[in-house]
């Protein structure tokens, strides 16, 4: 079996040793990264073959002639240590996940196999949209997610009171929203090779501080850094570029958005459908009253 020293992006070195059975832990790699399969046995060999899932030949090597014959799909992605037989696999993709076997033929004409498994995960980019006509925070990511967790002001959240976290921890619902719900919300997603965070800052104002004329159908807004992302309730077809500072909730409370407005301010677009090009942060725009 194989002794494996994977290249991990989280700074943790994992060791998997074989002792007559498959390793009890798979080798882990990240999309675009690399891993190295190291042979346990130090036996010399006259020929060597690496294969994938028992059917796909990665390479054949003959030591007497130093003849290396890699498969077409692997030619630019592998490095073979000709003395040890260790294999480096680069530019990993999700479909590289599976079982890897090295077969050697010793000078005594004895065939020896060593096996292990590889799991490839995607690096993640957090996405936290605001959805629907309530305060729902959705935590998604590009890539394979193993764990999700929600925090508020650095404290781990769990279901209780007006907080509901879905079973898969993808959605955090706040119902009803209270002033004490103001704060910084963080979603953290992770897998064995990557961890990513995304934050929302929520500021809830009391009923008496509403700006006159705002519709009771407007819903909570969320600040992501200096970008405003607005969810639009039924009956509000579109919000284009506007100086938005407060929204009223259905229960009479209000939510204040960051970047409190003057006639010119840093902002991001808040148009929902058929979005135009997003302005650059810091660009000054003359604002117009909402209709």
**pLDDT at residue 100 in the model:** 96
Give me the numbers of helices (H) and strands (E) for the chain, helices first please. 0, 24
* 103/121: higher pLDDT: 103
* Ranges 8-22, 67-81, 185-199, most confident: 67-81
Burial (Cβ within 10 Å: 0-12, 13-18, ≥19) of residue 111: exposed
Least confident of 54-58, 110-114, 237-241: 237-241
Asked whether the predicted pLDDT for residue 5 surpasses 70, the reply is no
Mean pLDDT across 1-10: 30
Q: What is the 3-state secondary structure (H, E, C) of 258-276?
A: CCCCCCCCCCCCCCCCCCC
With H, G, I as helix, E, B as strand and everything else as coil, classify residue 207.
Answer: helix
Domain ranges of the chain: 2-121, 126-256
pLDDT in tens, 9-27: 222 222 222 222 334 457 8
Q: Do domains 2-121 and 126-256 have the same CATH topology?
A: yes
Which residue has better confidence, 89 or 134?
89
Fold of 126-256: Immunoglobulin-like (2.60.40)
Helix, strand and coil in the chain, % to nearest 5: 5, 40, 55
**Which band of pLDDT confidence, cut at 50, 70 and 90, is reported for residue 68?**
very high
Q: What is the pLDDT of residue 48?
A: 97
For the record, the structure tokens of 88 come out as 């480096």
148 vs 54, 98, 259, CA distance in Å?
Answer: 35, 25, 29
Structure tokens belonging to residue 149: 């967790």
Look up tokens 């999309």; give the residue: 31
pLDDT 10s digits, 116-162: 999 888 765 555 544 345 678 888 777 778 889 999 999 999 999 98
Rounded to a whole number of angstroms, the CA Rg of the chain reads 28
* Per-residue pLDDT reduced to its tens digit, 245-278: 344 445 555 444 443 333 333 333 333 333 344 4
> Which residue bears the tokens 């997003």?
278
Q: DSSP string of 113-164?
A: EEEEEEEEE----EE--EETTTEEEE-EESS---EEEEEETTEE--SBTTEE
Residue 139's pLDDT is: 82
What does the alpha-carbon distance between residue 188 and residue 195 come to, in Å, rounded to a whole number?
7
Closest of 222, 211, 220 to residue 250, by C-alpha: 220
At 100, list the tokens. Answer: 């890897």
- Average pLDDT for the chain: 67
Q: Which CATH class is domain 2-121?
A: mainly beta
Q: What is the pLDDT of residue 22?
A: 35
Cis peptide bond N-terminal to 78, omega within 30:
no
Q: What is the pLDDT of residue 138?
A: 82
């Amino acid at each position: 079996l194989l002794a494996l020293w994977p290249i991990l992006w989280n700074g943790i070195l994992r060791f998997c040793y074989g002792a007559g059975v498959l390793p009890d832990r798979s080798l882990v790699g990240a999309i675009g990264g690399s891993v190295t399969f190291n042979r346990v046995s130090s036996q010399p060999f006259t020929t060597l073959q690496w294969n994938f899932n028992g059917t796909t030949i990665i390479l054949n090597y003959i030591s007497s002639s130093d003849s290396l014959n890699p498969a077409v799909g692997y030619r630019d992605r592998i490095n073979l240590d000709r003395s040890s037989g260790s294999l480096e696999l680069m530019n990993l993709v999700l479909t590289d996940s599976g079982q890897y076997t090295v077969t050697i033929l010793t000078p005594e004409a004895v065939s020896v196999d060593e096996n292990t498994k590889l799991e490839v995960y995607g690096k993640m980019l957090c996405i936290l949209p605001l959805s629907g006509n309530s305060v729902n925070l959705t935590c998604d990511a590009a890539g394979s997610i193993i764990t999700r967790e929600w925090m508020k002001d650095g404290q781990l959240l769990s279901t209780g009171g007006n907080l509901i976290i879905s079973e898969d921890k993808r959605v955090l619902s706040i119902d009803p929203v209270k002033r004490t719900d103001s704060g910084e919300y963080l979603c953290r997603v992770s897998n064995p090779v990557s961890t990513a965070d995304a934050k929302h800052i929520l500021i809830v104002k009391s009923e008496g501080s509403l700006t006159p004329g705002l519709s009771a159908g407007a819903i909570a807004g969320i600040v992501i850094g200096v970008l405003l992302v607005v969810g639009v309730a039924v009956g509000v077809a579109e919000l284009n570029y506007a100086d938005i500072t407060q929204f009223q909730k259905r229960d009479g409370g209000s939510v204040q958005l960051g970047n409190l407005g003057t006639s010119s301010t840093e902002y991001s677009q808040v148009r929902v459908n058929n979005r135009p090009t997003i302005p650059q942060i810091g660009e000054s725009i003359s604002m117009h009253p909402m209709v």
